[in-house]
Chains A and B, each alone.
Chain A
């Protein structure tokens, strides 16, 4: 009887599943029964019900078979495990080469997964080390889509008005120079925070206490040292509490020591009461937004509810204070997003990629085991004939693959441990102190799960197939070998090739993104430049003193051999620092002024634009005639010029930078030049609107220095230190990096993704190549006789070669095809992490296809040419 099309399809699928799992005679009877009964069910209940019924039967049948397998047949579940393990060890030692290949493959797959999962665990899974971390939120102002900090007045408003929150704390980073204890002078990044920061985070100091709220408005400062700083610079001396230490030349009272490992928000050295630094007004004025806010929701309040309340408060503030708050909305995000929002897509992408690598590795191991199961058929047959139940043989096989996988897992963890060491170097700077990427209990549990999963995935089919009873035929020595394993190997290699194609497409796209990112025209040069920052004590240096010191440092730097020029900018590009200020134009109404966007204000040395290679578009650069007592001048970037003087000439126009730059009293600056735009926030960012003034005309207690050299910029590290120390040994530089290093820090996620993907792509290619090679080689070894006959009948070497390669192509090409289609389908998922390249980039696809094609051909040619050299007489005699 002919089955209708859909019936035929379901039956065929069911047949294939049964064929895979059941012993031959069961398969024959059961699949026949199914076909026979299927018609009856279909005519009564329709094809859909019939298909459901059919698959139900298939699953039950396979389940019964598997159960027998696991229980070890009539011997029972608990019996003979130690014997199985001992036997597995003996097998492992018997063929060390084979075992090594299997274990190494699994170790690579498991190790890669462990390493990446350690990152995912640390960054996305492990709870932040604060009580009820899900209640912690980041609160910010929103001007359009620009996030901004909030002012002290706004923080007070939040704490008074919000009913759904436990409270809000404000903090910011600043720098402190510390020395005078006999050790080298050191620049600390410190957290300046309101007194309730510890309370909001839910942490208490390990020793002592925190400061009282009074200190937030005081000029005498109290500090809490991090445990790290306390042990490193204060010899873990508990009596330090209550004592005063000089920071920035000013006494600070130590009131507490934080718990080990705690710093906030990143890796700061100490916490200081907010206090009143230089300007009491900073407390009063609503538009001085310099506090980052962390808040805690009350128990049971959702993020959405919190967000709604903040939005309402923001609206009320805008009504009450239209001058300062009309454009500011209030936003909120879970604290984890504040840290990890931009890393998440990269990590998930990498996790997916290592998952594929593991699948490829498992397919390879399954291939190896299947191929070996063919050569062990005789052994299995003898054991069956001697009375071993099939279930015991299956269990035995699974124990073997579990053993391989367990050893692979242990090695994998070791590999991951070393890999993490390297990978964390790429990212540590950007992670908070308490976020340690390490192999902890969760990771180990994951490793265990992955290990068992790999063992089952790789070992299941070989175990089922390898133990199928063909006793009589298998006992006969020297049969040409069953073709069944070979038939099963091919779809697995096809899958492997598909996964590898997918990974290589990802690798290609990410690498190209990365290269394009590095080749973006930032508007300035990054080569041969050494940079560092100095933050001067504002008690020791007034503006004039700071200017003098900076000028002297520049002079000393210029004397270093190999240095072409030394300059400075108060906020160097790519460092994440920006001095965003409102500006006023001379001929602007007060109304127009409130609509002005903020601009990035830089005070620079007169040679800055030239040495950084920032193009001059109009007018002139700064020069030595721009000094303290000459006309106050400014240079604007092209974008700024176009925004404020569209179509007009900015030269000679006057601008007034906003008044957030105290203690400097703002003065009108005359525009003398227009320069090219720069991408200060990194290659993936936008061009900014920049306003430059000569630092000698204003001044600031601190700057970023740039030193251009003809040498490798890293080579002048020591000379730079000496040059600075010769001016003031108590004002140490910090963040001494080359401009290239600074650039790489802005794109660390992409760099990490690029590096890891390249490794994974290479691994996938290697494994797939081994897979292709081993299957073709195996198939050739099974066909020696056939090749011999063909040669004897007159086939030429070319014919044999072609035959083998065509056969390889039949399972490689579909794999590449499937991989490319999957790549096109999954393309959208990666587009978020790509830069200036389409996920469907034809060049990348073409290159991947060509690469895999040629590697696959090479993998086929070796065994094929071996086959072509077979001597027909010898081949026929192997019978």
Chain B
């Protein structure tokens, strides 16, 4: 298993997936990030991050049923996998260790 740390955007996406549970697909992930982090992300960037993490085994995806609301297209749902949870924890821990003892006054 990889011992990699995650990038900032990857962490944001994985946390959104944790929040969303079984209801994570492109639009809901984006809305969740928008709601919590007040940050706009493009669908393209989101999908390329998700693809990248899928190839590393951090997330998995499956297609739902097509709906007319989506022009006959399916939702592509994403779910965080155990490896993803581990990577997220590892990164968070590392950040917390680094941050320990820091004072946040600007020098």
Q: Using a CB–CB distance below 8 Å, which chain A residues touch chain B?
A: 1, 3, 11, 15, 23, 25-26, 28-37, 39, 56-57, 60-65, 68, 74, 389
Using A26-B51, A30-B26, A61-B47 as known contacts, say yes or no to A36 and B69 having CB atoms under 8 A apart: yes
A64 touches B52 (CB 8 A): no
B63 at the interface (CB under 8 A from A): yes
Min CB–CB distance A613 → chain B (angstroms): 76
Contacts A29-B73, A30-B47, A36-B27 aside, 19 further interface pairs with beta carbons under 8 A come to: A26-B47, A28-B63, A28-B73, A29-B61, A29-B63, A29-B76, A30-B26, A32-B67, A33-B26, A33-B27, A33-B70, A35-B69, A60-B43, A60-B45, A61-B43, A61-B47, A62-B44, A63-B44, A64-B44
B48 at the interface (CB under 8 A from A): yes
With a CB–CB cut-off of 8 A, which chain B residues contact A34? 43
Report the separation of the CA atoms of residues A60 and B43 in the bound assembly, to the nearest whole angstrom: 8
Chain B residues numbered 67-81 whose CB sits less than 8 Å from any CB in chain A: 67-71, 73-76
Report the separation of the CA atoms of residues A74 and B49 in the bound assembly, to the nearest whole angstrom: 12
Min CB–CB distance B87 → chain A (angstroms): 15
Report the separation of the CA atoms of residues A37 and B48 in the bound assembly, to the nearest whole angstrom: 19
With a CB–CB cut-off of 8 A, which chain B residues contact A33? 25-27, 43, 70, 75
Using A29-B75, A29-B76, A30-B26 as known contacts, say yes or no to A36 and B70 having CB atoms under 8 A apart: yes
With a CB–CB cut-off of 8 A, which chain B residues contact A61? 42-44, 47
- Chain B 37-67 interface 0/1 with A at a Cβ cutoff of 8 Å (1 = within): 0000011110110011001000001010011
A65 touches B48 (CB 8 A): yes
Look across to chain A and name the residue whose beta carbon is closest to the beta carbon of B54: A25
With a CB–CB cut-off of 8 A, which chain A residues contact B66? 32
A35 touches B73 (CB 8 A): yes
18 A-B residue contacts at CB 8 Å?
A1-B69, A23-B51, A25-B61, A28-B73, A28-B74, A29-B26, A29-B74, A32-B74, A34-B43, A37-B27, A57-B44, A60-B44, A60-B45, A61-B42, A61-B44, A63-B44, A64-B42, A65-B48
B43 touches A57 (CB 8 A): yes
Report the separation of the CA atoms of residues A508 and B51 in the bound assembly, to the nearest whole angstrom: 54
Look across to chain B and name the residue whose beta carbon is closest to the beta carbon of A36: B70
With a CB–CB cut-off of 8 A, which chain B residues contact A57? 42-44
Question: Considering residues A34, A36, A74, A389, which has the most beta carbons from chain B within 10 angstroms of its beta carbon?
Answer: A36
With a CB–CB cut-off of 8 A, which chain A residues contact B75? 29, 32-33
With a CB–CB cut-off of 8 A, which chain B residues contact A1? 68-69
B71 touches A64 (CB 8 A): no
Report the separation of the CA atoms of residues A343 and B51 in the bound assembly, to the nearest whole angstrom: 56
- Chain B 20-33 interface 0/1 with A at a Cβ cutoff of 8 Å (1 = within): 00000111000000
Report the separation of the CA atoms of residues A33 and B26 in the bound assembly, to the nearest whole angstrom: 6
A64 touches B68 (CB 8 A): no
Question: Considering residues A11, A15, A60, which has the most beta carbons from chain B within 10 angstroms of its beta carbon?
Answer: A60
With a CB–CB cut-off of 8 A, which chain A residues contact B42? 56-57, 60-61, 64
A25 touches B73 (CB 8 A): no
With a CB–CB cut-off of 8 A, which chain B residues contact A31? 71, 73
B43 touches A32 (CB 8 A): no
Report the separation of the CA atoms of residues A1 and B69 in the bound assembly, to the nearest whole angstrom: 5
Min CB–CB distance B88 → chain A (angstroms): 19
CB-based A-B contact count at 8 angstroms:
80
Report the separation of the CA atoms of residues A74 and B52 in the bound assembly, to the nearest whole angstrom: 9
Look across to chain A and name the residue whose beta carbon is closest to the beta carbon of B56: A74
Using A25-B61, A25-B63, A25-B76 as known contacts, say yes or no to A30 and B71 having CB atoms under 8 A apart: no
| Number of B residues, CB within 8 Å of A | 24
With a CB–CB cut-off of 8 A, which chain B residues contact A11? 71
With a CB–CB cut-off of 8 A, which chain A residues contact B76? 25-26, 28-29, 32
Cβ 8 A contact of A29, one of B25, B52, B67, B69:
B25
> What 9 A-B pairs are tightest by C-beta distance, nearest first?
A61-B44, A29-B76, A32-B73, A35-B71, A32-B70, A33-B26, A60-B42, A64-B44, A60-B44
Report the separation of the CA atoms of residues A869 and B22 in the bound assembly, to the nearest whole angstrom: 56
B45 touches A64 (CB 8 A): yes
B70 touches A64 (CB 8 A): no
With a CB–CB cut-off of 8 A, which chain A residues contact B71? 3, 11, 15, 31-32, 35
Report the separation of the CA atoms of residues A35 and B43 in the bound assembly, to the nearest whole angstrom: 12
A64 touches B73 (CB 8 A): no
Min CB–CB distance A493 → chain B (angstroms): 29
With a CB–CB cut-off of 8 A, which chain A residues contact B52? 74
With a CB–CB cut-off of 8 A, which chain A residues contact B63? 25, 28-29
Look across to chain B and name the residue whose beta carbon is closest to the beta carbon of A387: B55
Look across to chain A and name the residue whose beta carbon is closest to the beta carbon of B76: A29
Report the separation of the CA atoms of residues A23 and B42 in the bound assembly, to the nearest whole angstrom: 17
With a CB–CB cut-off of 8 A, which chain B residues contact A62? 44
Cβ 8 A contact of B44, one of A3, A15, A30, A32:
A30
With a CB–CB cut-off of 8 A, which chain A residues contact B68? 1
With a CB–CB cut-off of 8 A, which chain A residues contact B43? 30, 33-34, 57, 60-61
Min CB–CB distance A118 → chain B (angstroms): 42
Question: Considering residues B25, B27, B71, which has the most beta carbons from chain A within 10 angstroms of its beta carbon?
Answer: B71
Report the separation of the CA atoms of residues A26 and B52 in the bound assembly, to the nearest whole angstrom: 12
Report the separation of the CA atoms of residues A33 and B70 in the bound assembly, to the nearest whole angstrom: 7
With a CB–CB cut-off of 8 A, which chain A residues contact B67? 32
Min CB–CB distance A67 → chain B (angstroms): 8
Report the separation of the CA atoms of residues A389 and B73 in the bound assembly, to the nearest whole angstrom: 26
Min CB–CB distance A38 → chain B (angstroms): 9
With a CB–CB cut-off of 8 A, which chain A residues contact B69? 1, 35-36, 39
Report the separation of the CA atoms of residues A35 and B63 in the bound assembly, to the nearest whole angstrom: 16
Report the separation of the CA atoms of residues A23 and B47 in the bound assembly, to the nearest whole angstrom: 11
Min CB–CB distance A40 → chain B (angstroms): 9
Report the separation of the CA atoms of residues A64 and B47 in the bound assembly, to the nearest whole angstrom: 9
A35 touches B70 (CB 8 A): yes
With a CB–CB cut-off of 8 A, which chain B residues contact A28? 63, 73-74, 76
With a CB–CB cut-off of 8 A, which chain B residues contact A30? 26, 43-44, 47
Using A30-B43, A31-B73 as known contacts, say yes or no to A64 and B48 having CB atoms under 8 A apart: yes
Report the separation of the CA atoms of residues A34 and B61 in the bound assembly, to the nearest whole angstrom: 18
Report the separation of the CA atoms of residues A57 and B63 in the bound assembly, to the nearest whole angstrom: 21
Report the separation of the CA atoms of residues A389 and B27 in the bound assembly, to the nearest whole angstrom: 26
With a CB–CB cut-off of 8 A, which chain B residues contact A56? 42
Report the separation of the CA atoms of residues A62 and B70 in the bound assembly, to the nearest whole angstrom: 20
Look across to chain A and name the residue whose beta carbon is closest to the beta carbon of B66: A32
Report the separation of the CA atoms of residues A777 and B26 in the bound assembly, to the nearest whole angstrom: 41
Min CB–CB distance A333 → chain B (angstroms): 53
Report the separation of the CA atoms of residues A31 and B25 in the bound assembly, to the nearest whole angstrom: 12
Min CB–CB distance A384 → chain B (angstroms): 11
Report the separation of the CA atoms of residues A526 and B57 in the bound assembly, to the nearest whole angstrom: 84
Min CB–CB distance A200 → chain B (angstroms): 61
Min CB–CB distance B83 → chain A (angstroms): 16
